[in-house]
């Protein structure tokens, strides 16, 4: 028996046991709850002291809730942006992740009674005196967590905002001046910004709202159990103890407890005048406007990156095939590096890695340069193939007319090579156009990001998906058509040249 199979033996046994157990009484005794643990402090996150464990106030709360319900809590890590669809697909039974009961979500899932009252906190750089309230943010860029009450508030007030996948990224970009402010739920602000000496709170917390547990539609029985369980841990002080431990207790939480005995008006007591987050509905005209803006960004990104790729690809191609030895080696290294590593990794490196070296570029510029550098490697090979397809005789004819190499290249070789390169380059442009979607990884508001965020906010994955596809097709189909026409023209030309009868006189 090899070492590996010896080790695998017990593991297989454990897995079989687990499978048997889960098939049986699991539905009754286990409460599977989903939350996003990445950058998830203080809700649920990886214990820095023991990375195999999750901790957080909601983690402790669900443990208590499950006990009150007579169940065992089982945590299922999920992705915040897609957490509602994961619930609907049945990956877990409930969402406990600082979920706000917005109207658009109410159409998709059930909500429990509220268990926490949060507020929003605006954060700016300490050395930036311009912003002291949300009203000062007009004309500036505000970062927040995507698909949250905060992002809906920013969208509805018409401010320019950028949705992030986790709070760490948003606060880091604030420090790097890619953002002017960050609006975030107080619990997150407390854990990720308040201790940072380079940041400061701009004004007091505002816009209170509530967190609730999310459940699948039709799970009314489970909702009743969850509501009862929540009532129990609120009444018996378990929740207060947990919140105090995490430094999250304030008088608003006490109001929540008082409401238990008041007539069931749900959140009315927690909402002061002003913006009502729980009534934030999905705004279609606004969404389409944002999609159109994203389409513009996508087009500009694709064009900008292609111009860079074409400008950089030519010297690379020439360097690789005709340069001195060291230039050849460098060009080949460049090409192999950028073709041999994923463009996503390259983008992440440029966006997160370069600021460590003191070079922080805004997201759109990073995406443009990253895609441009990546495609330059491919375009250099298109140029190279096209240059090599030009017969030696063309060089010799140019030389024997007294042309120097640079002139011969510019006037004779390059114009012919460009004709050969045009169809494959057009094809590459179509690919690049679609590849701009990787920019969503660095929060650039292009079509893919827009689709993900808007569809998550509204649940309209099908309809928005169709609209976004139409945006892409409206661009890529004409380009692909153009590429095919250019290719056919090239082929006809070559046929004419190759089938011409060579008249020999012998």
If binding is defined by CB under 8 A, does position 400 make contact with another protein? yes
**Token pair in block for residue 290:** 């944002």
Give the position of tokens 């018996």: 236
Taking CB under 8 A as the binding criterion, the range among 52-60, 110-118, 239-247, 397-405 that sits at the site for another protein is 397-405
Minimum distance of another protein from residue 412's CB (angstroms): 6
Taking CB under 8 A as the binding criterion, the range among 51-59, 298-306, 367-375, 400-408 that sits at the site for another protein is 400-408
Minimum distance of another protein from residue 484's CB (angstroms): 22
Nearest C-alpha neighbor of 457 from the set 45, 84, 43: 84
Beta bridge partners of 121: 184
If binding is defined by CB under 8 A, does position 263 make contact with another protein? no
Say how far apart CA 485 and CA 495 lie, in whole Å.
15
483 and 489 Cβ atoms separated by less than 8 Å = no
Minimum distance of another protein from residue 501's CB (angstroms): 8
If binding is defined by CB under 8 A, does position 388 make contact with another protein? no
Which residue's CB is nearer to another protein, number 265 or number 506?
506
Taking CB under 8 A as the binding criterion, the range among 66-74, 341-349, 425-433, 495-503 that sits at the site for another protein is 495-503
Q: What is 130-183 written as a DSSP string?
A: S-SSGGGGTTSEEEEETTSHHHHHHHHTT-EEEEESSHHHHHHHHHTTS-SEEE
Say how far apart CA 98 and CA 117 lie, in whole Å.
10
- Residue 439, CA distances (Å) to 344, 446, 453 in order: 8, 7, 14
Minimum distance of another protein from residue 504's CB (angstroms): 6
Nearest C-alpha neighbor of 164 from the set 182, 144, 149: 144
308 and 373 Cβ atoms separated by less than 8 Å = yes
Minimum distance of another protein from residue 506's CB (angstroms): 7
Residues 403-422 that bind another protein (CB under 8 A): 403-404, 407, 411-412, 415-416, 419
Say how far apart CA 447 and CA 426 lie, in whole Å.
21
Taking CB under 8 A as the binding criterion, the range among 90-98, 124-132, 265-273, 398-406 that sits at the site for another protein is 398-406
If binding is defined by CB under 8 A, does position 486 make contact with another protein? no
Which residue's CB is nearer to another protein, number 407 or number 463?
407
If binding is defined by CB under 8 A, does position 505 make contact with another protein? yes
If binding is defined by CB under 8 A, does position 493 make contact with another protein? yes
Choice from 250, 396, 481, 488 touching another protein (CB under 8 A): 396
Minimum distance of another protein from residue 347's CB (angstroms): 38
If binding is defined by CB under 8 A, does position 503 make contact with another protein? yes
Nearest C-alpha neighbor of 94 from the set 30, 40, 165: 30
Minimum distance of another protein from residue 441's CB (angstroms): 42
If binding is defined by CB under 8 A, does position 394 make contact with another protein? yes
**Token pair in block for residue 13:** 């046994």
Minimum distance of another protein from residue 400's CB (angstroms): 4
Minimum distance of another protein from residue 401's CB (angstroms): 4
Residue 326 has a CB neighbour count (10 Å cut-off) of 9
Taking CB under 8 A as the binding criterion, the range among 206-214, 325-333, 352-360, 492-500 that sits at the site for another protein is 492-500
- Residue 438, CA distances (Å) to 312, 365, 371, 446 in order: 21, 13, 9, 9
**Token pair in block for residue 213:** 């547990």
**Token pair in block for residue 296:** 């513009």
Minimum distance of another protein from residue 418's CB (angstroms): 9
# residues near another protein by CB under 8 A: 28
If binding is defined by CB under 8 A, does position 397 make contact with another protein? yes
**Token pair in block for residue 291:** 């999609």
110 and 219 Cβ atoms separated by less than 8 Å = yes
Phi-psi domain of 271 (left: phi exceeds 0; alpha: psi -120 through 50; beta: other)? beta
Beta bridge partners of 162: 143
Choice from 13, 353, 391, 465 touching another protein (CB under 8 A): 391
Residues lying near another protein in the complex (CB under 8 A) are found at: 391, 393-394, 396-404, 407, 411-412, 415-416, 419, 493, 496-497, 500-506
């Amino acid at each position: 028996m090899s070492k590996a199979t010896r080790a695998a033996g017990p593991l297989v046994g454990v897995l079989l046991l687990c499978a048997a157990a889960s098939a049986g009484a699991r539905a009754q005794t286990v409460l599977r709850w989903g939350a996003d643990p990445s950058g998830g402090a203080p809700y649920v996150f990886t214990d820095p002291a023991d990375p195999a464990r999750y901790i957080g106030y909601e983690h402790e709360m669900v443990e208590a809730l499950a006990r009150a319900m007579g169940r065992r809590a089982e945590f299922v890590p999920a992705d915040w942006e897609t957490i509602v669809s994961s619930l609907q697909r049945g990956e877990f039974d409930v969402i406990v992740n600082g979920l706000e009961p917005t109207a658009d979500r109410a159409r998709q899932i059930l909500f429990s009674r509220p268990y926490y009252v949060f507020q929003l906190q605006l954060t700016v750089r300490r050395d930036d005196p311009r912003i002291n309230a949300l009203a000062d943010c007009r004309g500036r860029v505000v970062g927040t967590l995507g698909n949250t009450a905060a992002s809906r508030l920013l969208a509805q007030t018409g401010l320019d905002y950028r949705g992030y996948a986790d709070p760490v990224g948003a606060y880091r970009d604030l420090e790097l001046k890619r953002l002017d402010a960050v609006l975030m739920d107080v619990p997150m602000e407390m854990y990720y910004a308040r201790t940072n000496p380079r940041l400061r709170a701009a004004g007091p917390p505002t816009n209170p709202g509530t967190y609730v547990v999310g459940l699948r539609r039709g799970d009314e029985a489970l909702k009743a159990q969850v509501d009862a369980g929540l009532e129990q841990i609120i009444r018996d002080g378990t929740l207060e103890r947990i919140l105090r431990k995490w430094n999250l207790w304030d008088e608003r939480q006490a109001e929540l407890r008082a409401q238990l005995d008041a007539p069931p008006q749900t959140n009315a007591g927690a909402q002061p005048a002003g913006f009502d987050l729980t009534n934030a509905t999905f705004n279609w005209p606004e969404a389409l406007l944002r999609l159109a803006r994203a389409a513009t960004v996508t087009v500009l990104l694709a064009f900008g990156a292609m111009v860079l790729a074409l400008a950089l690809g030519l010297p690379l191609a020439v360097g690789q095939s005709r340069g001195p030895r060291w230039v050849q080696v460098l060009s080949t290294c460049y090409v192999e590096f950028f073709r041999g590593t994923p463009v996503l990794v390259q983008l992440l490196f440029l966006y997160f890695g370069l600021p460590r070296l003191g070079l922080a570029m805004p997201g759109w510029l990073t995406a443009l340069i990253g895609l441009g550098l990546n495609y330059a490697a491919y375009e250099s090979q298109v140029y190279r193939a096209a240059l090599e397809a030009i017969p030696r005789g063309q060089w010799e004819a140019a030389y024997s007319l007294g042309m120097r190499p640079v002139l011969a290249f510019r006037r004779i070789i390059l114009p012919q090579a460009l004709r050969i390169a045009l169809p494959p380059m057009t094809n590459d442009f179509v690919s690049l156009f679609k590849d701009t979607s990787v920019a969503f990884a660095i929060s650039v508001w292009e079509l893919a990001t827009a689709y993900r965020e808007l569809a998550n906010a509204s649940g309209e994955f099908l309809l928005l998906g169709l609209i976004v596809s139409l945006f892409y097709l409206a661009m890529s189909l004409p380009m692909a058509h153009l590429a095919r026409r250019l290719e056919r023209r090239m082929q006809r030309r070559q046929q004419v040249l190759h089938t011409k009868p060579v008249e020999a006189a012998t």
